[in-house]
Each structure stands twice: as structure tokens, then as C-alpha cells.
Amino acid sequence: MRDFIIHEPDNIGGACSLLLEFGTQARIIAGGTDLLVDLKQHNIEISHLVSLAKIGGLKSITTIGDEIRIGALVSLNEVAESLTVKKRLRALCKAAASMASKQIRNQGTIGGNIASAVPSADLPPALLAAGAHVIITSGESERKVPMSNFFYGPRKTVLAVGEILTQVVIPSIGKKTAIIYKKFKLRGANALAVASVATRITVAGNLIKEGRIVLGAVAPVPMIAELASEMLAGQIPSHNLFFRVAEAAAAEAKPISDIRGSREYRKELIQVLTKQSLDEAFKRATGGGD
């Protein structure tokens, strides 16, 4: 691994200035669980790391009105165990708990999981299903970016040089709504998703008012399966409907074949996970489930 200088600014403005000063030679380091692997494997060559560890205000989970705000440096274990998050978006806690090992979850952060923009990352699908957005700061100004606009390719995001993702904001989820996250991985721990699905359903009377299906690890970015999602609105829930929606979600997926699974296998997985998550989401939205 190449030698590098670690900077530890104690405020956001200082961190942004360092990132601007060193440009492509610098990277933010949060927990380092993605970045250090990349540095060791020479996937990236840089000479400056800008640590966020000493910056206050990035490590808390707060509620403001109906919104939950999660600081970028909140660890994966803290997300998994947060009662505040569990109450509103249990799927995010489950996604965080399904990741890596306890040690990695203590070190890795929600901000790092999102900013690394790995297509199989576990937190983005549940956040997309919830309609979350992120707050990005350049030190001088802030912008609010919906999760659905944040990624534009594998390891590519809208973050510009000098910008830091500071918060993840989850809006009110609403009544009679449930979000379920399902992931398929090849072993119990330390395994990335081969395919994942986050499903959101809102019911009104005997009908599904609206639904959203988000797919992970089967496209260059976590993607909303738009056609499959639209098939749910205004429909009477049934085994047949959920089966057809699951088929449509699999048709929309754009997986590649790699060491963890073939393209065809991933499409099959999407169909199965979508059907299972629709069944569970409907049960939960109508007052059943755990």
C-alpha cells in the first residue's frame, strides 16, 4: 500500500477545504472498511486521507418532526440496533444487521455504505423504498439529493470533489405502509448480496394504494423496478398479482454474471425475493407479521 498522510479536521469546512486542495489525490475515510481494501488492492492510488472521525454532529440519530436524520458516521451496528429506526423503518435495521461481521459493522458507517456506491450494498434498497434523501455539504452550501438521484453507476455518485455526505433523512413512512428487505447471500457472514429486494406497500381498504419495488445487486445502481411497482397501484392483493409483479421485477432487472452468480440465477432470485417480500409487506401493512 502506498504511503499517505491522514488529515483529521475537526469541522466540516476544514474537511471540505482539504478535499478541494488535494483533489483526486485525496479521499474521505469514515470506517475504512471499503476504502482500505481498495487501497491494499491498488484499486485506487492516493496520498491523502481526510478522516471525518473528529467532526462533531455526524454520529447521531435524531428525529425532527416525522423525519429521522441519521448522521453519516453512524455505524452499521448502531443502525441495526437503533430503536428509533426500528420503530419507523425496520427493514433498514434488518439490512444493516445482515451485513458483514459484528467487527465490520462496528467500524463501517451508513455514509460509507451509500457513498461507496457498490451495486450490492445493503442499505440503499431499503432507503430508496422509504423515499429517503441525503444531505450533501461543500462546507459553504448544502444540497438535498433524493436517494433515487444519488447513484449513476458502479462506484459513481453525484458527490463532487470537496463535498461530503453528512446526513441520511428518512421521511415519515405513513400508516398502513410496510417496507420489507430481502437479501440472498452465499454464506452466513461476510457475504455480499447476490441479489436483494426492498418492497414497500401501502394499503387502503381492500386495495393496494401504491407500491414500490427496489432491486439491489442486479443493475449498475440500486434500481426502482418502475413497471413492476406501477402494477400494484389500485389492485386487489392476491397471490396471482404478487406472482405477476415478481415476474415483472425479474424482467426489469439487468444483472451481470460474476463469481457470485449468473445473470439467469440472479433473475430467478429477484422473482423469488420479490414474491416473498410482497407477501410479507402486505401482511405487515394490514396489521399482521412480526
Ligand X SMILES: Cc1cc2nc3c(=O)[nH]c(=O)nc-3n(C[C@H](O)[C@H](O)[C@H](O)COP(=O)(O)OP(=O)(O)OC[C@H]3O[C@@H](n4cnc5c(N)ncnc54)[C@H](O)[C@@H]3O)c2cc1C
116 lies in the site for ligand X, by CB under 6 A: yes
Burial status of residue 223 (CB atoms within 10 A of its CB: 0-12, 13-18, 19 or more): buried
Quick one: 31 or 237, whose CB is closer to ligand X? 31
Listed residue (195, 66, 36) closest to 119, CA to CA: 195
**Residue 50 phi, psi dihedral angles, 5° rounding:** -110, 105
165 lies in the site for ligand X, by CB under 6 A: yes
Residue number of the CB closest to ligand X reads: 112
192 lies in the site for ligand X, by CB under 6 A: yes
In the complex, least distance from residue 69 CB atom to ligand X, rounded to whole angstroms = 14
117-136 residues near ligand X, rule: CB under 6 A: 121-122
Distance of alpha carbon 121 from the chain centroid: 6
32-51 residues near ligand X, rule: CB under 6 A: 32-35, 37
In the complex, least distance from residue 165 CB atom to ligand X, rounded to whole angstroms = 4
C-alpha cell at 32: 475504512
Number of H helices, E strands in the chain: 11, 14
112 lies in the site for ligand X, by CB under 6 A: yes
Burial status of residue 268 (CB atoms within 10 A of its CB: 0-12, 13-18, 19 or more): middle
209 lies in the site for ligand X, by CB under 6 A: no
109 lies in the site for ligand X, by CB under 6 A: yes
Among 77, 82, 113, 196, binds ligand X (CB under 6 A): 113
Quick one: 33 or 177, whose CB is closer to ligand X? 33
Quick one: 30 or 249, whose CB is closer to ligand X? 30
76-95 residues near ligand X, rule: CB under 6 A: 76
Distance CA 222, CA 254 (A): 11
Quick one: 104 or 207, whose CB is closer to ligand X? 104
Q: CB under 6 A: which stretch of 12-20, 96-104, 202-210, 241-249 binds ligand X?
A: 96-104
Q: CB under 6 A: which stretch of 28-36, 140-148, 243-251, 278-286 binds ligand X?
A: 28-36
Distance CA 110, CA 192 (A): 16
Q: What is the DSSP letter of 48?
A: E
Cβ neighbours around 189 below 10 Å, total: 11
Q: Give the CA angle between residues 22, 104, 46 to the nearest 5°.
A: 20
Q: Furthest-apart CA pair in the chain: how many Å?
A: 62
**String marking each residue 59-78 x if it binds ligand X according to CB under 6 A:** -------------x---x--
Among 27, 69, 86, 283, binds ligand X (CB under 6 A): 27
160 lies in the site for ligand X, by CB under 6 A: no
Distance CA 146, CA 135 (A): 9
Quick one: 52 or 278, whose CB is closer to ligand X? 52
Distance CA 238, CA 288 (A): 16
Q: What is the DSSP letter of 149?
A: G
Could you list the residues that contact ligand X (CB under 6 A)? 27-35, 37, 52, 72, 76, 99-100, 104, 107-109, 111-113, 115-116, 121-122, 159, 164-165, 190, 192
